[in-house]
Amino acid sequence: MLKAEKERLRQLERAQLLADERKRFTRELHDGMGGHLVALKSILAGNPDKNSLCLELVNQAILDMRLLIDSVGDESDDVGLTMGMLRSRMEYQLKASALFVSWNMQTLPVGWSLQKGCSIHLVRILQEAITNIIRHADADWVEIRTTGFRDNGNRMVRIEVADNGQGMSPDVRQGRGIENMRQRCETLLGTFKLDYNPGGGTLLSLVLPCQKE
Ligand SMILES: Nc1ncnc2c1ncn2[C@@H]1O[C@H](COP(=O)(O)OP(=O)(O)OP(=O)(O)O)[C@@H](O)[C@H]1O
Ligand SMILES: [Mg+2]
């Protein structure tokens, strides 16, 4: 057998092993941890006054686990699907925060995908951006815009998160959240910018390369 052919077979085997392991991991997470959390939630829900904070935390843990299962489990790196999944999973948390979110994906072509296995990083960046807005911005409105464009013929997406809050103070102390967002964006081979929003508030802007056609 040719050397190149042997190498190709080895790569296929490795990809299959990885896919099997992902399936196993998400199934275990869902059936094991998911079951415990849902049971705990129903116990807490029986006494909401005393346990409302615990209930809220359990809800967040369930939401987070579902995000992980979705982004690892279905192996889809399609940008539109990832954004749609994030939107449905964040619905509860956003409702509880009374933050109005406008999702705009009008200029995203269908079927554009991030680098393989990378959708979890995009989900986590946007999750932290929204969490930061809820915690720090004092905003009541956020727009999440996703745009597709070409750079020298290559497919790129720009994702912007604009809030109408108080903006970031110049002497801001950076925590883990922004640092993690930056690192994840590097993994996605993208560019990261967090700055004043021209209309007031804060603007997060990511530019990410998509898979080649
Ligand atoms: N949308 C925003 N509007 C206003 N201030 C913000 C916004 N996002 C972040 N900040 C400021 O930037 C700081 C750093 O954010 P970062 O996410 O790194 O840390 P954190 O949220 O304070 O803590 P954690 O490590 O838990 O994420 C915040 O403490 C806050 O002052
Ligand atoms: Mg944070």
Residue 88 burial by Cβ neighbours in a 10 Å radius (0-12, 13-18, 19+):
exposed
**Tens digits of per-residue pLDDT, 193-213?**
999 998 899 999 999 999 887
Given CA atoms 200, 138, 83, 124 in this order, what sign does their dihedral have? positive
Count of residues in the chain:
213
Q: Domain of 89? A: 77-213
Q: Is 131 in the pocket of ligand 1 (CB under 6 A)?
A: no
Determine the 3-state secondary structure of 200 from DSSP: coil
Residue in 131, 132, 143, 192 to alter for ligand 1 test, most ligand atoms within 8 A of Cβ: 132
Q: How far is the CA of 115 from the centre of ligand 1 (A)?
A: 27
**Among candidate residues 75, 104, 138, the one where a domain is terminated:** 75
**Do residues 65 and 81 share a domain?**
no
CA atoms within 13 A on the CB side of 43: 8
Residue 163 CB neighbours (<10 A): 29
Determine the 3-state secondary structure of 23 from DSSP: helix
Residue 154 has pLDDT above 90, yes or no: yes
Determine the 3-state secondary structure of 106 from DSSP: strand
**Do residues 29 and 42 share a domain?**
yes
**Tens digits of per-residue pLDDT, 82-109?**
898 788 777 777 877 878 999 998 889 9
Question: Bridge-partner residues for 132, per DSSP?
Answer: none
**Among candidate residues 18, 41, 75, the one where a domain is terminated:** 75
Question: Confidence class of residue 74 from pLDDT cuts 50, 70 and 90?
Answer: low
**Do residues 179 and 106 share a domain?**
yes
**Do residues 171 and 136 share a domain?**
yes
Q: Is 132 in the pocket of ligand 1 (CB under 6 A)?
A: yes
Nearest CA to ligand 1 atom 20: 175
Q: Which amino acid is at 145?
A: R
Nearest C-alpha neighbor of 160 from the set 196, 204, 126, 130: 204
**Do residues 68 and 85 share a domain?**
no
Q: Is 136 in the pocket of ligand 1 (CB under 6 A)?
A: yes
Q: What is the pLDDT of residue 72?
A: 63
- CA dist 87 and 144 (Å) reads 10
CB 55 within 8 A of CB 63: no
Question: Confidence class of residue 18 from pLDDT cuts 50, 70 and 90?
Answer: confident
**Do residues 90 and 69 share a domain?**
no
**Do residues 54 and 92 share a domain?**
no
Q: How far is the CA of 69 from the centre of ligand 1 (A)?
A: 26
Structure-token pair, residue 51? 């346990």
CATH code where residue 122 lies: 3.30.565.10
The contacts of residue 195 (CB under 8 Å, 6+ apart) are: 202, 203, 205
Q: What is the pLDDT of residue 168?
A: 92
- CA dist 145 and 31 (Å) reads 35
Q: How far is the CA of 41 from the centre of ligand 2 (A)?
A: 26
Q: How far is the CA of 171 from the centre of ligand 1 (A)?
A: 12
- Closest-approaching ligand to the CA atom of 180: 1
Q: How many domains does the chain have?
A: 2
**Do residues 138 and 206 share a domain?**
yes
Question: Confidence class of residue 58 from pLDDT cuts 50, 70 and 90?
Answer: confident
User: DSSP string of 128-142?
Assistant: HHHHHIIIII--SEE
Q: How far is the CA of 175 from the centre of ligand 1 (A)?
A: 6
Q: What is the pLDDT of residue 161?
A: 97
- CA dist 149 and 33 (Å) reads 40
Nearest CA to ligand 1 atom 27: 177
Q: How far is the CA of 70 from the centre of ligand 1 (A)?
A: 26
Nearest CA to ligand 1 atom 31: 172
**Among candidate residues 75, 100, 116, the one where a domain is terminated:** 75
Q: What is the pLDDT of residue 39?
A: 76
Q: What is the pLDDT of residue 160?
A: 97
